[in-house]
Amino acid sequence: MTGFGCSQIDINKNEIISIEIRSFNNKFLDIKMNVLEEYKNLEKNIRNLITTNISRGKIEIKISKQSNDILEDYSFHAFINNISNKMLFIKKEIPDIRPPTSAELINLFYKNKNNVINSSCPLNENLVIESIILAINNLKEDREREGEALCKIIINYTNNIGKIIKHIEQNAQLSIESFKNKLLKKIEKNFIGVLSNKFDEIDDQEIKDKFIQEIIANVLKVDISEEIDRLNIHLKEMYRTVNEQKCNIGKKIEYLTQEMNREINTIGSKTNTTEISHLAIEIKLLIDKIREQSQNIE
């Protein structure tokens, strides 16, 4: 979302108009203008141009007038030489005339210099608007280059999340089988004194069905297959969003990170293995990195 764009207009042989636009990371669009008084009437048009082309970021635009090299050559030394020649001519006509003091010469120099600066041609507003559009386009190109680089980083994080999810899937099935066996042994142990038989030897179908229902209910509490499926769906949407690189993808990526966080939090709370818990933490860290980068993308 950061970038810089500029353009210049030659007003006359003495002046140029310089237009600079800077962009910084910001969740919303915030426009700040530093415009000379003579260009204040263009502020509404400038704001409309920016809002049409840019949707997020802190935008600072500066329009200034600068002297070019020709005006800089108008030095004090050249001015004094010019005055000296004129004084020689006046001295011939008026021998008793008093020469000017240093203070008078300095004041006259700056007065003449300001007259040169203020003798600009009338401002062509259409020319200024065209130059602002050029600066905005330069800014957009700069932001696009940064956005492409950030999207590559996000794709890399997304790839890593996908790899970790595969590890979680592999461990999840083993975890469920282990949990079922532990639960079954626990049930057999708790009821063996009452029933005087192991679970496999129980004849009462109603009791067996009750045991199985309890097992299923407890297994569902630790089953994370649905969360994994939704995570994979969000990953596919993340790839699609980043690869398309349309406008406002930053907000879409930020939304997807919120949804992915919700699923991985559920996985972390349901799992009964240390390994899956550690993998879930790794994914959370990667999701947070994606979220941070999404705030830098328009």
Q: What is the pLDDT of residue 182?
A: 67
Query: pLDDT per position in the chain (298 positions), as tens?
Result: 789 999 988 776 667 888 999 999 888 899 999 988 888 888 999 999 999 999 889 999 999 887 655 444 456 667 777 777 777 777 777 878 888 787 777 777 767 665 555 545 555 788 888 899 999 999 999 988 888 899 999 999 999 999 999 999 888 776 666 666 666 666 666 655 545 555 555 556 665 666 666 666 666 567 788 899 999 999 999 999 998 866 678 889 999 999 999 999 999 888 878 888 899 999 999 999 999 998 888 7
Q: What is the pLDDT of residue 70?
A: 47
- Backbone CA torsion sign across 107, 110, 113, 118: negative
> 225, exposed or middle or buried, with CB in 10 Å at 0-12, 13-18, 19+?
exposed
Instruction: Look up the pTM and report it.
Output: 0.65
Q: What is the pLDDT of residue 169?
A: 86
Residue at token pair 């990953």: 235
Dmax (CA) for the chain in angstroms is 140
Pairwise CA distance, residues 131 & 135, whole Å: 6
